[in-house]
Amino acid sequence: MSTLVIEGLRASVAGREILTGVDLAVAAGEVHAVMGPNGSGKSTLAHVIAGRHGYNVSDGSVRLDGTELLTLPAWRRAEAGLFLAMQYPTEVPGVSLLDMLTESVCTAEGAAVAERMQEEAERIGFDEKFLARPVNVDLSGGERKRNEALQLGVLKPAFAVVDELDSGLDVDALRFVGDRIEDATEHDGLGVLAITHSSRVFDHLRPDAVHVFAGGRIRESGGAELAEELEAEGYERWTPTSPKSDAGAAPFTDPFGDPFADLLT
Ligand code: ADP
Ligand code: MG
């Protein structure tokens, strides 16, 4: 049985530590929701797992079935079975979706890939004209997300990190895309890390566990009821914003005190 195990993951970007010790384990067929406020580091977590450049990982590990992913380039991580559905899917001018997926799967399987793409497109209501067009170029937010779901359906990864699936999706598109991923968890044993700031996506992609993510790490874990609690109460409990809050403040030192006082005690 496949498992994705994240342990003590710390990472910084532009000299600032964003991930401050993430621990998480997802088994095949499970959906784990990671819910947190804007700017808490959720997309950073997704990018660090997938191997995007520009992040400095200072500690920890991310293992897929025992294989350490952090030392591998992004394409090797994909080869090991990892898939990232991005919050803002990137445009790839000059490369068609058909060419991209044919190369991703295996050139010898080319013909079968085209067929599978058509099946998947039909399943999620994605217009077939996009298959031959450059990846994501001039597509709406919702079309880009359907495109991500199509790629997932064709590539059949072991694990998917899905970042803010519902952003840019109307209710119908969310149903198509959410149901497609949920179906992959049930029939193909896909494990999912569903990163989101709202619980709208859980109408279709049902979580087995919910984790509260704030300040760059997981603060609390529970079942689906935790998502309802967060929807009702927000994240305030985990994000001290009051100027009176002394969370994380440096210990007070008196600038006029005796510099040698510590040595005498
Ligand atoms: P979330 O997805 O939870 O909204 P992000 O992971 O996108 O949060 O961002 C977490 C923090 O890291 C934010 O303060 C953001 O500004 C900062 N950050 C993310 N990427 C970069 C980057 N490339 N350069 C500088 N700061 C970044
Ligand atoms: Mg984000």
Residue 234's domain is classified under what CATH number? 3.40.50.300
By three-state DSSP, how is residue 56 classified?
A: strand
Ligand nearest to the Cα of 40, by number: 1
- How many CB atoms are closer than 10 A to CB 29? 17
Query: Is the model more confident about 39 or about 2?
Result: 39
Q: Note whether 81 and 33 are within 8 A (CB).
A: no
The answer to the question of residue 135 being in a domain is no
- Residue 184's pLDDT is what? 96
The answer to the question of residue 224 being in a domain is yes
Which of 17, 18, 219 gets mutated to test ligand 1 (max ligand atoms within 8 A of its CB)?
Answer: 18
Of 126-135, 170-179, 230-239, least confident by mean pLDDT is: 230-239
54: its two tokens: 């520009």
Interval between CA 29 and ligand 2 midpoint (Å): 24
Say which residue the tokens 């991930």 belong to: 19
- CA-proximal residue: ligand 1, atom 5 (nearest): 41
Order of all β-strands in the sheet with 16-27 = 16-27, 3-13, 56-64, 67-68
Question: Is 102 near ligand 1, meaning CB less than 6 Å away?
Answer: no
The answer to the question of residue 92 being in a domain is no
Of 30-34, 152-156, 239-243, least confident by mean pLDDT is: 239-243
222: its two tokens: 């529970």
Mean pLDDT along residues 125-146: 92
Q: Tell me: the pLDDT tens digits for 60-105?
A: 999 999 999 999 999 999 999 999 999 889 999 999 999 999 888 8
The answer to the question of residue 115 being in a domain is no
Percent pLDDT > 90 in the chain is: 71
- Residue 241's pLDDT is what? 63
Interval between CA 36 and ligand 1 midpoint (Å): 13
- Residue 167's pLDDT is what? 85
Domain ranges, residue 216:
3-85+152-258
Please report the DSSP string for 93-155 in residue order: EEEEHHHHHHHHH-GGGHHHHHHHHHHHHHHHT--GGGGSSEETTT--HHHHHHHHHHHHHHH
- Residue 112's pLDDT is what? 86
pLDDT tier for residue 46 given thresholds of 50, 70 and 90: very high
- Residue 244's pLDDT is what? 37
Domains of the chain: total: 1
Q: How far apart are CA 79 and CA 181, in angstroms?
A: 19
Beta bridge partner(s), residue 192: 31, 160
The answer to the question of residue 239 being in a domain is yes
The answer to the question of residue 138 being in a domain is no
Q: Tell me: the pLDDT tens digits for 231-259?
A: 888 888 887 664 433 344 444 444 444 44
- Residue 110's pLDDT is what? 57
Query: Is the model more confident about 224 or about 244?
Result: 224
Mean pLDDT along residues 6-14: 97
The answer to the question of residue 71 being in a domain is yes
Interval between CA 90 and ligand 2 midpoint (Å): 14
What are the residues whose beta carbons fall under 8 Å from the beta carbon of 49, sequence distance 6 or more?
A: 6, 62, 69, 77, 82, 84, 161, 193
The answer to the question of residue 32 being in a domain is yes
